[in-house]
Every structure is written in structure tokens, then in C-alpha cells.
């Protein structure tokens, strides 16, 4: 049995009990096909297999690599590429059921050229990112059908609501967004209304399936929302230098997504991160060689830096899983 | 010959002429052993080989993986691990001359346990990160020598000066830092005073060798300093969605180091990045399928996300180099 102290640092560690709690809590709230777990947050087919074992057999992906990796892992029963691609030819070699988001004539043409058979019309519901204007959804659905594609329905990600801390405001934003999506769906047709995320999993009754991903591992940004999920993911680091007022550990910008700001360290104030270091002021003395846990502010771009994650229980490393879906 | 348009995006591309200009400009300023290129910025042994071909045979590393990778690439003539490690045992299996930075009795003990033979005393010269107090350098040098280690000299990184835009202030900060390092060196002895970076390469006469790395590829943060190096590195991205007031390309938080802020796009205003997207307002219309260049604000954590970089001249991809030194 490998112990934490034997891991090379920085190392991505996932608390087994917290992960299990998160997976089961979400499955109880959104059983079976009500949840289409998004793998972009964990990029790990071994973790996806745990989600499938709880009854969630369809997955959401952001990249071709994620689609290919899940298919290779035998998890290709119903994969949604919830993102626009202009070159879908790699999908022609994937043995899986793949549905692709489209929001323009160009992405419809790319789907056809890539041998894709099923699509969702991606509708902009308020986040300035992908998705057609709601009023354009019906035209695109017609174009897709005339191009020989099966239109399964619509998707629309209310990402602008996801991290709003005030629950009432978050609900209102989700509701406004879903009114747009419901109206687009009435025009487009199909069985699927795919939307949502960890921040709206419990307040989006319009979506037939919720694309939540962060709930499995969590991060300090989502933790502020008071959701019933626990922070399961941290970066194990080693204290490498200690001075009178601060200490330094080996977990820097190349081990952490930084777009949501600095990570957190229990019992310490984080000063700043540099490429390979975090400088922090500990409340109690630390020594070179001590291991600490660094809690990332944003799970997705943190995981994407690492080759593997270690599933741990206390001091014991239970399993090590490759982050096999990273890259593009 | 592969063309840019055939690359899967996002893709790291390096302008061949700009890289060549940067390498030659630095070599003219700091010939041979005056420059000990830091590989942490590019993490690419093929690029390090170009630096070695210009006469820089010693390299600076931040991680064990970088040491191992350079040694495996046949570039192990004189490698400096300019960072503290508490477990140096992997170095015992490396066929290369390796010198390690130490700043405490614990890191000295780790060097001995790892079979390391040569060290530098790492001195804090003003950046709150690694390095002993200047007044403690002589004691640590004695301890290292009594532990059987060869002390080659000192190092001290004036990182707090590196991105100061006012040249006069930057020079003053470098000068103050190097006064501390020179005094420590007088106590410690040895031939080596290792310091500096891209921001101080032309204003640090105290260091016997400069540890610059970012100069080869550059980024928008360093570009503000008016240095004689050109931005050679960008992320090639594809426009995947276009709306009335903005467009979206497939280059997000997992393709960009974000700690220095948003990237830049020529002829456009960047609104924000999300995991797999950048939303931007272009001055001239763009269409889905168009390729754009995204200029990262910080080179090091950008490169660390990618598996390879493509050396390009105009529309032609000349070579593709693995980012073989990433990870730890």
C-alpha cells in the first residue's frame, strides 16, 4: 500500500469518501439519465466509470479527445459533444453514439462532413459564448434535418448563473435562461433539453438532463455556494523552504488553474503563486519536508495540468487513475 | 509540408524567425557560459538543443523531470536544479553533471541522500520565495562542505525586479539584490554566482551566469518591458461561433496560463476565457472556421498545458517538437 508520504509532489489527490459522497448525493438528486455527467472537469475515464456504475450512462464532453477517450474506455453508449467543432472528421473513427452541438450552418456542415448523425441545436441562453440566437434555432434545426441529421433537441448552458452566490438570484437567472431554452425547444422539437451544471443542479426542472461535472471533485469557488458537495480534490505539496514569516511549497502555476484566483491552504494565508511555488504564511510552524494540501479555486484547469490523480483514504493511496482525457 | 490550416486547434505555434532572432540576440549579449538558459519556460529539449548549438552548454531547471529529460536528450553537461527538493533520490539515476540549490539543513541532507555531489547556496535577495537569509549563507556552505558536498557558489533570483516596467527602477532593484548576493558569495566562495532572468539580462553584471528562459518564446507581460526580444509564441485557435457583437474561439483556460490575466488577440478585444473558449470582440468580421492567434500573457504555464509546439514560418509547419519536460 502506497502512503501519501511516498508520492512525488505536486500530486493531485482525491479524498475517496468525499468523492463517494458527491457522486451518491448527485445520483440521488438526479438519477439515471436525468444527469449527463460532464467529464471536462475531471478528464478521467476511471472516474467516469464510477459515474456510469451509478446509472449515468450518457456523458457530456467538451473536446474530441474526451469523446475518443470515453469511447475507448467502453463508455460510448450516448456521448454528447456539448461544444462546436469545425472539423469533426476524427469522430468518423469513433465507435460510439455521438451527438454534437451545432449553432451555425458551418458547424452543421462540419457535422455532416464528419459523418455525425445526431445533433442538438445549441442555443444562447444568456452567457456570451457559443449558441445561436433563440430566434434562429428553428431555422438551424430545419437546415440540419435537410442536411440529413437527426435533431435530438436543444442545449443551452446557463453558465452566467453558475457561480452566483445568492441562491435567489441564481434561481432567477436559471429560470430566465430556461424560459428561452424552452421556447426554442418548442420550435425545434426532439426529446432532449440539455442544460445546467453543478450550480443549478437543484433548480433547473426544464432541462431533461443536467450537464454537471464539477460536483464530483469540487473547488473553493463552488464551495462558496453552500451546495451539498464536499471539496474532494486537493494538490498534495511539500514544504521546500521556510523563513521567519512565510513558507514555500512545490505547488505553483503549473499545478493549479489560476483564473479564479489563488488556492487555499488550511491554517495558512496564501501570499502568491509562481511557476513552481506557492508562498504562504502558516499559522503554526512548518518544516521543510512537511506535506500540505493546496485547495484549488477552479477544478477544471487544475486537473488538466496533471498526468494522474490519486484516490486516497486518510494516509493510504487506494488507486491511481490516469487523467487520460486531457489535451484535445 | 503541413500547413497551419491542417493543425488541430488549440495548438502551440512558434514563429521560427522570431525564435531565431531571440536566441541569437541573447547569445550576442550573453555568449557561451554567461547564459545558463532556464528550460522551465519552454520545457522542450528540442528547443534546448538549439540553445546548446549556440554555445550555451549549461542549463537551468526547476524540476526533477526537466533534469531527467535534458540528461536523456544528451544535454547533461552541466545542469543546475535551481530549486529546493526534499527528495533528490531520482537524481541518483541521472547520467549528467547535476548541481542542486540548497537553502536549509534539510535540503542539504536531501542532496546527500540523493547522491548529489555539487550544490549552490540559494540566497534570498528580496523575492519572498526560496533562499536562505543572506546572513545564513556561510553557515549553510560550511554545513554542506562538512556533509561532503562541493559548494560551487551561490544563486539568488531577483524575481521581484523581473517585470518592473520602469527600466531605472528595475535596474535599482537588481542592483540592490545583487549587492546582497555578492556579499553572500564573499562568505561562501566558489566560482559561480547564478542569478537573473529575461528582465535583467542586460543589467546584472554581478552574476557570472544569467538564468534567463522566457526570452526565447516571450509573452505579452515581458513584451511591455521594451526588451529586444519578439513574441514568438502564440496559441493557434479556430473560431467556432460568431454572434452579432462577439465571436468565440477554441482556446480557453486549459490552453493558457491565466495568472497574468487575459491573453491578447490582434485586432480584437478579449472579453473573457472559460475552460475551452475565449470570447472576443473582433474589429473586422470573422467566420466560423477562421484561424486566429491568441497571445498568452504568461509563457510558462501556457506551454505546460500542451503536448507539443509547432515551429512555423508563415503558413508552413517546419517541425513539431514534443514538450517533453513537462510534469514533475
**CATH code of the domain in which B166 resides:** 3.20.20.10
Chain B residues within an 8 Å CB radius of A290: none
Listed in sequence order, the DSSP H helices in A39-151 are: 45-53, 64-72, 105-113, 137-146
Burial B256-279 (b: 16+ CB within 10 A, else e): bbbbbebbbbeebebbebbbbbbb
The percent of residues above 90 in pLDDT, for chain B, comes to 100
Residue A89 lies in a domain: yes
Beta-carbon count within 10 A of A33 CB: 14
Could you give the number of structural domains in chain A? 2
Give the model confidence (pLDDT) of B226-265 as tens digits.
999 999 999 999 999 999 999 999 999 999 999 999 999 9
Measured CA distances, A129 to A95, A164, A170, A225, A229 (Å): 29, 18, 19, 23, 27
Measured CA to CA, the distance from residue A40 to residue A212 in angstroms comes to 10
Q: Check CB contact under 8 Å for A129 and B274.
A: yes
Residues A122, A167 share a domain = yes
Residues A180, A71 share a domain = yes
Measured CA to CA, the distance from residue A101 to residue A104 in angstroms comes to 10
Residues B128, B198 share a domain = yes
Residue A327 lies in a domain: no
Chain A residues within an 8 Å CB radius of B10: 328
Residues A301, A278 share a domain = yes
Measured CA to CA, the distance from residue A66 to residue A60 in angstroms comes to 9
Mean pLDDT of the region A297-309: 97
Chain A residues within an 8 Å CB radius of B276: 40, 62-63, 83
Residue of B nearest to A64 (CA): B8
Residue A328 lies in a domain: no
> Which helix (H) or strand (E) segment is B234 a member of?
strand B233-242
Q: Check CB contact under 8 Å for A40 and B259.
A: no
Phi and psi torsions of A152, nearest 5°: -80, -15
Question: In 3-state terms, what secondary structure has residue A288?
Answer: coil
Question: In 3-state terms, what secondary structure has residue B302?
Answer: helix
Contacts of B264 (CB under 8 A, 6+ apart): B220, B270, B294, B295, B297
Band of residue B157 on the pLDDT scale cut at 50, 70, 90:
very high
Among B217, B245, B272, the domain boundary falls at B217
Residues A59, A207 share a domain = yes
Contacts of A4 (CB under 8 A, 6+ apart): A13, A236, A291, A312, A315, A316, A317
Band of residue B311 on the pLDDT scale cut at 50, 70, 90:
very high
Residue B258 lies in a domain: yes
> Prior bond to B112 cis, omega within 30?
no
Q: Alpha-carbon torsion B207, B213, B215, B216, what sign?
A: positive
> Prior bond to B30 cis, omega within 30?
no
Residues B22, B8 share a domain = no
Residues B296, B198 share a domain = no
Residue A104 lies in a domain: yes
Q: Characterise A126 by phi-psi region: left (phi > 0), alpha (psi -120 to 50), beta (else).
A: left
Looking at the complex, does the CB of residue B219 fall below 8 Å from at least one CB of chain A? no
Residues A181, A33 share a domain = yes
Looking at the complex, does the CB of residue B131 fall below 8 Å from at least one CB of chain A? yes
The percent of residues above 90 in pLDDT, for chain A, comes to 100
C-alpha torsion B108→B113→B115→B118, nearest 10: 0
User: What average pLDDT does the structure give for chain A?
Assistant: 97
Residue of A nearest to B84 (CA): A240
Output the pLDDT for position B1: 87
Please give the sequence-ordered ranges of beta strands (E in DSSP) within B20-97, or none if there are none.
Answer: 58-61, 78-81
Looking at the complex, does the CB of residue A143 fall below 8 Å from at least one CB of chain B? no
Measured CA to CA, the distance from residue B216 to residue B46 in angstroms comes to 13
Q: Which three cell numbers stand for residue A171?
A: 434561481
> Which helix (H) or strand (E) segment is A179 a member of?
helix A167-188
Residues B163, B56 share a domain = yes
Looking at the complex, does the CB of residue A73 fall below 8 Å from at least one CB of chain B? no
Measured CA to CA, the distance from residue A83 to residue A63 in angstroms comes to 7
Among B183, B217, B251, the domain boundary falls at B217
List the CATH number of the domain containing B244. 2.40.37.20
Among B190, B217, B244, the domain boundary falls at B217
Give the model confidence (pLDDT) of B257-308 as tens digits.
999 999 999 999 999 999 999 999 999 999 999 999 999 999 999 999 999 9
Q: Which three cell numbers stand for residue A172?
A: 432567477
Residue B66 lies in a domain: yes
Chain B residues within an 8 Å CB radius of A250: 83, 85, 328
ipTM of this predicted complex? 0.96
Mean pLDDT of the region A243-253: 97
Q: Is residue A82 predicted with pLDDT exceeding 90?
A: yes
Q: How far is A128 from chain B (nearest CA, A)?
A: 7
Question: In 3-state terms, what secondary structure has residue A228?
Answer: coil
Residues of B (245-274) whose Cβ lies below 8 Å from A: 246, 248, 250, 253-255, 257-259, 271, 273-274
Measured CA to CA, the distance from residue B194 to residue A54 in angstroms comes to 56
Output the pLDDT for position B262: 97
Residue B222 lies in a domain: no
Output the pLDDT for position B41: 97
Q: How far is A17 from chain B (nearest CA, A)?
A: 27
Residues A304, A285 share a domain = yes
Band of residue B83 on the pLDDT scale cut at 50, 70, 90:
very high
Q: In chain A, what are the helix, strand and coil shares in percent, each to the nearest 5?
A: 30, 25, 40
Measured CA to CA, the distance from residue A283 to residue A171 in angstroms comes to 38
Looking at the complex, does the CB of residue B297 fall below 8 Å from at least one CB of chain A? no
Q: Which domain holds residue B309?
A: 4-12+229-322
Band of residue A310 on the pLDDT scale cut at 50, 70, 90:
very high
Residues A189, A151 share a domain = yes
Q: Check CB contact under 8 Å for A238 and B300.
A: no
Beta-carbon count within 10 A of B165 CB: 11
According to DSSP, the residues that pair with A122 across neighbouring strands are A155
Mean pLDDT of the region B77-98: 97
Band of residue A1 on the pLDDT scale cut at 50, 70, 90:
confident
Residues B177, B83 share a domain = yes
Residue B63 lies in a domain: yes
Cα angle, residue B272 at apex, residues B266 and B275 outer, rounded to 5°: 110
Amino acid at each position: 500500500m502506497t502512503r501519501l508520504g511516498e508520492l512525488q509532489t505536486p500530486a493531485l489527490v482525491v479524498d475517496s469518501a468525499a468523492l463517494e459522497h458527491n457522486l451518491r448525493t448527485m445520483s440521488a438528486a438526479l438519477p439515471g439519465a436525468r444527469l449527463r455527467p460532464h467529464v471536462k472537469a475531471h478528464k478521467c475515464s476511471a472516474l467516469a466509470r464510477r459515474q456510469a456504475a451509478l446509472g449515468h450512462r450518457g456523458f457530456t464532453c467538451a473536446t474530441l479527445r474526451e469523446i475518443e477517450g470515453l469511447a475507448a474506455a467502453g463508455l460510448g453508449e450516448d456521448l454528447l459533444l456539448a461544444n462546436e467543432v469545425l472539423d469533426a472528421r476524427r469522430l468518423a473513427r469513433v465507435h460510439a453514439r455521438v451527438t454534437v452541438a451545432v449553432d451555425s450552418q458551418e458547424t452543421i456542415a462540419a457535422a455532416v462532413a464528419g459523418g455525425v448523425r445526431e445533433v442538438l441545436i445549441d442555443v444562447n441562453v444568456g452567457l456570451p459564448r457559443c449558441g445561436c440566437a433563440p430566434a434562429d434555432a428553428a431555422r438551424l434545426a430545419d437546415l440540419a434535418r435537410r442536411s440529413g441529421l437527426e435533431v435530438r433537441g436543444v442545449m443551452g448552458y446557463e453558465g452566467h448563473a453558475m457561480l452566483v452566490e445568492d441562491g435567489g438570484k441564481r434561481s432567477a437567472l436559471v429560470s430566465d435562461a430556461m424560459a428561452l431554452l424552452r421556447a426554442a425547444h418548442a420550435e425545434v422539437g426532439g426529446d432532449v433539453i440539455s442544460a445546467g451544471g453543478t450550480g443549478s443542479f437543484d433548480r433547473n426542472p426544464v432541462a431533461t438532463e443536467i450537464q454537471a461535472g464539477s460536483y464530483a471533485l469540487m473547488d473553493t469557488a463552488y464551495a462558496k455556494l453552500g451546495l451539498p458537495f464536499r471539496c474532494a480534490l486537493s494538490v498534495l505539496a511539500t514544504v521546500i523552504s521556510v523563513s521567519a514569516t512565510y513558507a514555500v511549497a512545490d505547488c505553483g502555476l503549473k499545478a493549479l488553474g489560476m483564473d479564479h484566483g489563488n488556492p487555499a491552504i488550511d491554517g495558512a494565508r496564501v501570499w502568491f503563486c509562481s511557476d513552481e511555488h506557492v508562498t504562504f504564511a502558516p499559522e503554526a510552524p512548518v518544516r521543510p519536508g512537511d506535506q500540505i494540501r493546496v485547495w484549488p479555486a477552479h477544478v477544471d484547469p487544475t486537473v488538466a495540468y496533471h498526468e494522474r490523480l490519486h484516490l486516497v483514504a486518510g494516509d493510504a493511496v487506494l488507486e491511481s487513475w490516469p487523467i487520460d482525457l486531457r489535451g484535445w
